[in-house]
Structures are given as C-alpha cells and as structure tokens.
Amino acid sequence: MLTHAIAKNVGHPVRKVRRVTSAIRGRRVGEALAILRFLPNAPARDVYKVVASAAANAENNYQMDPDELWVVNAIADEGFTIKRVRARSHGRSSRILRRSSHITVYVSDDPADIPAGARRAARRQA
C-alpha cells in the first residue's frame, strides 16, 4: 500500500532539495534515513523528517512493518518566493529572491511500486 508525507514551505530552494531527493529514490527506508543522516547538504535534515514521517504514517495508519518499506518516490516542488530589495550603487536597487519548496515522499511495502528508472538509479549509486 502506498502512503505519503508532505512538508510545505521548507526554506530551501527546489534545486538544492532535488539533489537530496534523487539520492534516496528507490531505496529502503532504513537505508534512505542512513544516507540522509550523513549527507552534508542542508536540505537533507528536512527530507529526513519527511521520510521518517511517511514511515510513521505507514506504521500507525496501515500497520505496515517499517523495516519492509521502500521509498517509492521523493518529489520537490516549488513553494512561494519571498521578494526582497537590496540597495545598490547610484541609488539603484536589485531584487533578492528567497525561494522555498514543498517536499513529498511516497513509501510502500511493495517494491513492485517503484518505477524501473528509480530502481536502476539506486542500483547505480550503490
């Protein structure tokens, strides 16, 4: 059965979060959490929380064994953008864009739910 967890308006740009989510797609939840714990990227902490939440949702709502769960898909979508202004020379100004993202993680107890491309990519990285 497929379950998911979502974190909205995480304060990291989508481009940086996607680097982290591609590292865990198609792996077991325990292995994904271990990878996220030691990744040096800042968004890894937030992705770790979402993966742990998805595993807890599967365990508490559907009585699935957390040791048998797989990360089927991990998606990072663009959130809102805070626009700021920075003073520049000659009385001009420039824009500062503070981007955020939404992180969605799907987990399942059936490894057949994993798309073939994600399975190959996880094997290649191992």
pLDDT tens for 97-109 read 999 999 999 999 9
Can you list the domains of the chain with their CATH numbers? 2-125 (3.90.470.10)
Closest CA to 21 of 56, 48, 1: 48
Predicted TM-score (pTM) above 0.75: yes
Residues of the chain short of pLDDT 50, as ranges, are none
Q: What pLDDT digit, counting tens, does each position of 81-99 carry?
A: 999 999 999 999 999 999 9
Per-residue pLDDT, 56: 96
Specify the pLDDT at position 113. 79
Three-state SS sequence of the chain = CEEEEEEEEECCCHHHHHHHHHHHCCCEHHHHHHHHHHCCCCHHHHHHHHHHHHHHHHHHHHCCCHHHCEEEEEEEEEEEEEEEEEECHHHCEEEEEEEEEEEEEEEECCHHHCCHHHHHHHHHHC
Question: How confident is the model at residue 79, as a pLDDT?
Answer: 95
What pLDDT is stored for residue 122 in this prediction? 62
